[in-house]
Amino acid sequence: MPPDPPVTAILLVNCRDRTGLVAALSTFVFSHGGNILDADQHAERDSGEFFMRLVWDLAGFDLGREAIQSEMAELARRFTLRWELTFSDHVPRVVVFATKASHCLYDLLLCQQIGDLGGTIVAVLSNHEFLADVCQHFDVPFAVIPVERDGKRKAEQEQLARLASLGADVVVLARYMQILSAEFVERWPNRIINIHHSFLPAFAGARPYHQAKERGVKIIGATAHYVTADLDQGPIIEQNVRRVSHRDEVDDLMRAGRDLEREVLTRAVRLHLQRRVLVSGNRTIVFG
């Protein structure tokens, strides 16, 4: 078995590209005794934007966490940075919203069980009883918050209260079949992850798999993205596709879609929890 990973600081940075930035940041780490374990940065020629992910070992680092925060704030002012600093021993707390479909939920729970998720699923909230036994099997708390017709506002207030009391860091919509209000979404910017099907070409309207069958598409896909007020248009975290053929009936397409959804959603959640995703405008930079 490999040794335990060290406790690290993980810094995500986005700014206009500036001479001296990498030197300033790496000197900051070095001058306090930190060893950089992973660094990935990229300056975009076209947009002039700069992106960086920097990971350093906290063993032997001579600054405490609050001091790191305040020194970083100072650097951020100097270089006009957007930044986010986390520590690897903070295990992010994940709340999953689900309805009846179990495939995405199982995949997230299996990923956690095997120790690969990078976070802890602290609760599953659903508008139905349906998935209670799945959560019980994995020893994860499950609660029903019903969404009555015309009762979405009330349900969302209860959901928000629950997220607060759970100390949640991120919400994962694992085929949660309700549309969250703009108010809800805006309180959790870039912290709600959704999965939906994608097609080449794209389809508007209902019953997309039937449309895909009628159009004879050769490839179907799934896209995981952060939720914004603009439905299904938030920053894309991860995508994948699968080939299909005329031998696939509509239910075969749906099955392939489910396989893609669970794979792409779990992968997106892991990337987020490992702090590999940086949002800039309406897109993400994913440090692979």
Using CB under 8 A as the criterion, what x/- string covers residues 125-144 for binding a second copy? --------x---x-------
Annotated active-site residue in 116, 232, 248, 259: 232
Backbone φ/ψ region at 20: left (φ over 0), alpha (ψ -120 to 50), beta: left
Q: Phi and psi at residue 240, in whole multiples of 5°?
A: -155, 165
Pick from 85, 132, 145, 241 the residue near a second copy by CB under 8 A: 241
Asked whether position 230 contacts a second copy by CB under 8 A, the answer is: no
Other beta carbons within 10 angstroms of residue 6's beta carbon come to 14
Q: How many residues bind a second copy (CB under 8 A)?
A: 81
d(CA 49, CA 43): 6
List binders of a second copy among 28-67 (CB under 8 A): 29-31, 33-46, 51, 60
Nearer CB in complex with a second copy: 192/217? 217
- Contact flags string 2-21 toward a second copy, x per CB under 8 A: xx-x-----------xxxxx
Q: Which is nearer to a second copy, 14 or 178 (CB)?
A: 14
229 binds a second copy (CB under 8 A): no
Q: Does 285 bind a second copy (CB under 8 A)?
A: yes
- In DSSP terms, 56 is beta-bridged to 9, 36
Query: Contacts for 242-245 with beta carbons within 8 Å, 24 or more apart?
Result: 243/218, 243/219, 244/217, 244/218, 244/219, 244/220, 245/218
Residue 118 interacts with a second copy (CB under 8 A): yes or no: no
| CA quadruple 228, 235, 141, 99: dihedral sign | positive
Active site residue 232: yes
CB 161 within 8 A of CB 182: no
CB of residue 247 to a second copy, shortest distance in Å: 6
As measured in angstroms, the least distance from the Cβ of 34 to a second copy is 7
- Single out the segment in contact with a second copy by CB under 8 A; choices: 146-154, 166-174, 182-190, 250-258: 250-258
Tell which positions 171-190 bind a second copy, by CB under 8 A: none
Distances (CA, A) of 206 to 63, 177, 203, 212, 241: 56, 14, 9, 11, 21
Q: Counting contacts by CB under 8 A, is residue 146 touching a second copy?
A: no
Which residues form the catalytic set?
232
